[in-house]
Amino acid sequence: MYYSPLTYHEPLYRPPSEARSVIFQVTLGCSWNRCTFCSMYNSKQFRIREERELFAEIGAMSRTFPRARRFFLADGDALVLANSKLLPILEAIKRSFPQVSRVSAYASPRNLNAKSTEELKALRKAGLTLIYLGIESGDDEVLHRVEKGETAESTVRGLLKARDSGMRTSVMIINGLGGRRYSERHAVASARVVTRVEPDYLSTLVLTIPRLKTEFYRGFDNCFEELTMKGLLEEQRQFLEHTALQHSLFRSSHASNFLVLKGVLGGDKERLLSQIDQVLEHADQEYLTMTLHHTDHL
């Protein structure tokens, strides 16, 4: 029987690529928790866990998983912790797990921008090598309407600080977030932002509006029009077409995507665009006019 020495506070989330990592909750919930498209941590009140709990769990893990090599620091934004609290946690992980090769965490531009480059370098030196950022959109209007609390410039500034500190970055864009009205500007502006920051990893997923999330619709003046499958593909194509990346590993393999795309931007850019074109040309047109998700509208 599997036994975990960790006390998990559900629900628990992690990036798909952290499936083999030890998930270690250093905070609970999300310190922002206002994004209208997201319900991941609505059932939790944000709090920073007590140090005695955390170090006790690290000790227990070292006895149960002595050969663990990867750790993911949950929940939504571990980097909200001051370095005075986060560095001892990273050092304890490194001390208790000599074979650890990667520690990663979700991050937000605001938390990155709250730290100096020197502070981020200290975290990188202590073992935090990869951060995941859901930047969602590069368009300021869309970001405002979904209450992200960020702008294109704050996003770029935070990601460049992370890159300059030596951390790898994994960036996510939400396909369809602006609806039909803002689709083109959302795609083009998002491409502009990721081109400026050149993330190591880039992914897209498709908008899933939480049921009864009325504040999401209010943000769009109660007239949000979801994209059809065709619209999502066309937006995805626009986004990729306007990127000018050199080495970013791209994936649209999240469960919400109905077309899986994989490649390196820009070497595989033309192939990826061709794949989208083939679907747009040959797929059943009635099927493409459907919306991918059915939600409760006002």
Structure tokens belonging to residue 89: 């946690």
Q: How many domains are there within the chain?
A: 2
- The predicted pLDDT at position 292 comes to 66
Relative to beta strand 248-251, strand 201-206 is parallel
- The predicted pLDDT at position 283 comes to 78
Q: What is the mean pLDDT of residues 29-57?
A: 93
- The predicted pLDDT at position 298 comes to 30
Domain contains 55: yes
Domain contains 60: yes
Q: What are phi and psi of 133, to 5 degrees?
A: -125, 120
Strand, helix or coil for residue 249: strand
Domain holding 83, by residue range, is 1-106
Give yes or no: residues 26 and 64 share one domain. yes
The CATH number linked to 152 is 3.30.750.200
Domain contains 219: yes
Q: Do the beta carbons of residue 200 and residue 250 sit within 8 Å? A: no
Q: What are phi and psi of 282, to 5 degrees?
A: -110, -15
Instruction: Please tell me the distance from the alpha carbon of residue 106 to that of residue 169, in angstroms, as a whole number.
Output: 10
In the predicted structure, residue 257 carries a pLDDT above the cut 90: no
Handedness of CA 73, 74, 80, 82 (dihedral sign): negative
Give yes or no: residues 55 and 170 share one domain. no
Choose among 74, 73, 63, 60: nearest CA to 30: 74
Give yes or no: residues 145 and 182 share one domain. yes
User: 11-35, pLDDT tens digit by residue?
Assistant: 999 998 999 999 999 999 999 999 9
Structure tokens belonging to residue 127: 């073992």
Average of per-residue pLDDT values in the chain: 92
pLDDT greater at residue 213 or residue 262: 262
The CATH number linked to 79 is 3.30.750
Give yes or no: residues 58 and 150 share one domain. no
- The predicted pLDDT at position 289 comes to 84
Which residues, 6 or more positions from 165, have their beta carbon under 8 angstroms from its beta carbon? Answer: 117, 120, 121, 123, 124
- The predicted pLDDT at position 240 comes to 98
Structure tokens belonging to residue 250: 């791209």
User: 267-291, pLDDT tens digit by residue?
Assistant: 999 999 999 999 999 877 777 888 7
pLDDT greater at residue 221 or residue 214: 221
pLDDT greater at residue 150 or residue 291: 150
CA 131-198-175 angle, 5° bins: 80
